[in-house]
């Protein structure tokens, strides 16, 4: 055998032939075994990868949950930011005074009576006559206050009246806004010569001292005008939807603003 190997090594021609024959014989076997080894290796890699993927998946899910929670929090912050800006605007419009946050605990919405019950009373500084507002505008006035709750008459109540004027500097028409018993308001006693238009904003004028000046009441939607009358009137869309009240405040003037 050794002699045969030496002879093959020393004789290039027969050596090459032998090698070629050996390759031809072993090649398919090699291919088969190599393929099998590859398949096993791939299977094993996939098997390991599944475990890794499951772990990665769980980590991604956790990350998504965390990001979603952050997104929700950010939206809340955005809304709070928006509300605080509006509240700042409200404070600036309402003048010096304290805003006492309140919640509605009961309500009565009938054509005859439109009132709310709020969760603050005299113990918290809420007194009769104080205005109830949201950042959108005027809601009503406190008519009864006990120690822990108070009743508020909505501006849409037929017994409510607010001295008002048109905010537009080119108009400044004055009048009296009364409730119509459902969702509407009417501004009456507007002098005929005063020019008013639909779409104009109406605010409290502060006359009479019942409501502070500058609180938004509503927007003119229709004008009722007869040449023979002394006064004209206008129907208003209230700025505040009494069926969707949130973030309410009682406006309590400071001692300084009361003296002014």
Partner 1 sequence: MPRLTTYTLLAAAALLQSTVGARIAVAEGRPNLVLLLVIAWAVHRGIEEGVVGGVVGGLLLDVLSGAPFGLNAIVMALVGLAVGVREPGIYRSSVLLLSTTAFLTTLGYHVLVYLGLQLMGRQLPSAAVVSETLIPAMLLNALLMPLVHWLLRRALRATSALDLG
Which residues are near partner 1 by CB under 8 A? Answer: 105-117, 143-144, 151-153, 158-159, 178, 180-182, 243
Query: DSSP readout, 217-234?
Result: EEEEEEEE--TTSSEEEE
155 three-class SS? coil
Closer by beta carbon to partner 1, 78 or else 108: 108
Closer by beta carbon to partner 1, 55 or else 106: 106
Query: DSSP readout, 110-149?
Result: -SS-EEEEES--GGGT--TT-EEE-SS-EEEEEEEE-SS-
Q: How far is the CB of 79 from partner 1 (least distance, A)?
A: 23
Closer by beta carbon to partner 1, 90 or else 240: 240
**163 neighbors 210 (Cβ within 8 angstroms):** yes
Q: How far is the CB of 117 from partner 1 (least distance, A)?
A: 7
Distance CA 149, CA 8 (A): 114
Closer by beta carbon to partner 1, 47 or else 112: 112
Q: How far is the CB of 151 from partner 1 (least distance, A)?
A: 5
Q: How far is the CB of 120 from partner 1 (least distance, A)?
A: 16
Closer by beta carbon to partner 1, 117 or else 174: 117
Residue 119: closest CA among 100, 139, 143, 140: 100
Distance, CA of 234 to chain centre: 32
Q: How far is the CB of 215 from partner 1 (least distance, A)?
A: 21
């Amino acid at each position: 055998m050794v002699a045969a190997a030496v002879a093959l090594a020393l004789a290039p021609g027969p050596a090459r032939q032998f090698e070629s024959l050996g390759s031809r014989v072993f090649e398919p076997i090699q291919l088969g075994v190599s393929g099998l080894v590859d398949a096993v290796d791939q299977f094993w890699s996939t098997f390991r990868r599944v475990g890794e993927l499951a772990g990665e998946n769980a980590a991604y899910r956790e990350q998504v949950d965390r990001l979603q929670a952050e997104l929700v929090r950010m939206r809340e912050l955005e809304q709070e930011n928006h509300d605080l800006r509006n509240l700042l605007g409200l404070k600036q419009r309402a003048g010096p005074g304290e805003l006492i946050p309140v919640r509605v605990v009961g309500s009565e919405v009938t054509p005859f009576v439109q009132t709310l019950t709020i969760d603050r009373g005299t113990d918290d500084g809420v007194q009769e006559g104080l205005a109830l507002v949201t950042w959108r505008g005027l809601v009503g006035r406190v008519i009864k206050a006990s120690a822990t709750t108070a009743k508020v008459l909505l501006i849409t109540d037929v017994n409510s009246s607010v001295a008002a004027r048109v905010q537009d500097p080119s108009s400044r028409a004055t009048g009296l806004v009364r409730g119509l018993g459902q969702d509407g308001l009417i501004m009456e006693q507007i002098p005929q010569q005063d020019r008013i238009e639909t779409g104009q904003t109406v605010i409290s004028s502060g006359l009479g001292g019942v409501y502070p000046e500058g609180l938004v009441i509503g927007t003119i939607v229709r004008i009722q005008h007869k040449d023979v009358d002394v006064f004209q009137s206008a129907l208003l869309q209230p700025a505040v939807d009494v069926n969707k009240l949130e973030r309410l405040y009682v406006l309590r003037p400071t001692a300084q603003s009361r003296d002014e």
